[in-house]
């Protein structure tokens, strides 16, 4: 599905890079040359650039435990299955040993997402062919059955931290891929129209933008206490919690930013458009309470 955007597609990319706090990793892929307005083409190009980077430095490997019945002792002997299956009578032992392998979870996820992308009907043909080339290079790696929990199971460290950026792209592709029950073909959902999801992304983008670009300021979220004294703890539990989206502070000033993401910026009031009153009242409540605290 082609998505017509009113803003350059690379702006969406950098918004995500800021939101994920992966600006340096994002700069390693040149997205300025992409002509398409299809977000799926953008993410495919990012994966291709990221995979090129990984293959130049070498794919990550990890130790995987293998178990087998063998005539030779390799690793450690596991006696319970050996006794249960009477392997001694067959002059065999059940052994477990660890081997370095490319078939680790983060590589499996990459291969699975590449496989999904190849069958997306809207993907640019040139990008599809490039992904096919990488898919063939990953012949030693199995595909992984994807679900929401599997992405959080990946364990990364400083030496393979670049994978985290690519896995975020993979997760975004997986979350927004829809498969037709009739044709079996995949299409990409316009996640930008998901106000709830994009509200979170937009807030993270603004907060991390100031953290990175204005490092001399103290930037973060802030709890603001109500300017009142409750009768008891039970009464206090009824009060909603006030937490700013973004507080920017320096020695002589403070700014509070409340981010909003809506399809319609203004609300209609009779025959006129106005700012949402609830948004202004929320900011007023933050500032009023903070000022007198």
Q: What token pair was written down for 140?
A: 């030693």
Along the 293 residues of the chain, how does pLDDT read in single tens digits?
344 445 677 888 888 999 998 888 888 777 777 766 688 888 998 999 999 989 998 899 888 776 767 666 676 777 777 777 776 777 777 777 677 888 999 999 999 999 999 988 888 899 999 999 999 999 989 999 999 899 999 989 888 889 999 999 999 999 888 765 555 566 777 777 777 888 888 899 999 999 988 888 899 888 877 777 778 777 777 877 888 888 898 888 888 888 888 777 777 777 778 777 777 777 777 777 766 55
Q: What token pair was written down for 208?
A: 């991390």
Please tell me the predicted confidence (pLDDT) of residue 3.
Answer: 41
- 75 and 96 Cβ atoms separated by less than 8 Å: yes
Residue 267's SS3 state is strand
Q: What token pair was written down for 265?
A: 């910026």
- Output DSSP code: residue 269: E
What is the C-alpha to C-alpha distance for residues 175 and 147, in angstroms, rounded to an integer?
9
- Domain borders along the chain are 41-59+103-189, 62-101, 195-292
Count CA atoms closer than 13 A to 249's CA, side-chain side: 10
């Amino acid at each position: 599905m082609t998505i017509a955007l009113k803003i350059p597609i690379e702006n969406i990319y950098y918004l995500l890079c800021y939101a994920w706090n992966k600006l340096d990793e994002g700069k390693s892929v040149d997205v300025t040359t992409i002509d398409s307005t299809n977000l799926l083409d953008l993410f495919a190009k990012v994966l291709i650039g990221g995979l090129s980077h990984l293959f130049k430095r070498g794919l990550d490997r990890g130790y995987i435990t293998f178990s087998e019945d063998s005539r030779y002792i390799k690793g450690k002997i596991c006696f319970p299955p050996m006794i249960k299956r009477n392997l001694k009578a067959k002059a065999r032992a059940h052994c477990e040993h660890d081997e370095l392998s490319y078939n680790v979870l983060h590589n499996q996820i990459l291969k699975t997402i590449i496989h999904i992308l190849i069958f997306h009907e809207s993907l640019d043909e040139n990008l599809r062919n490039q992904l096919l080339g990488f898919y063939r290079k990953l012949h030693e790696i199995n595909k992984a059955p994807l679900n929401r929990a599997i992405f959080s199971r990946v364990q990364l460290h400083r030496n393979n931290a670049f994978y985290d950026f690519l896995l975020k792209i993979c997760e975004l592709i997986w979350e927004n891929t829809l498969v037709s029950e009739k044709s079996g073909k995949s299409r990409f959902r316009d996640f930008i129209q998901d106000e709830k999801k994009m509200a979170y992304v937009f807030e993270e983008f603004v907060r991390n933008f100031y953290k990175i670009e204005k490092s001399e300021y103290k930037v973060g979220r802030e709890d603001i206490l109500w300017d009142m004294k409750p009768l008891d703890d039970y009464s206090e539990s009824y009060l909603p919690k006030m937490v700013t989206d973004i507080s920017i502070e320096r020695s002589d000033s403070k700014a509070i930013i409340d981010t909003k993401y809506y399809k319609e910026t203004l609300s209609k009031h009779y025959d006129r458009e106005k700012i949402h009153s609830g948004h202004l009242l929320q900011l007023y409540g933050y500032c009023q309470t903070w000022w007198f605290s």
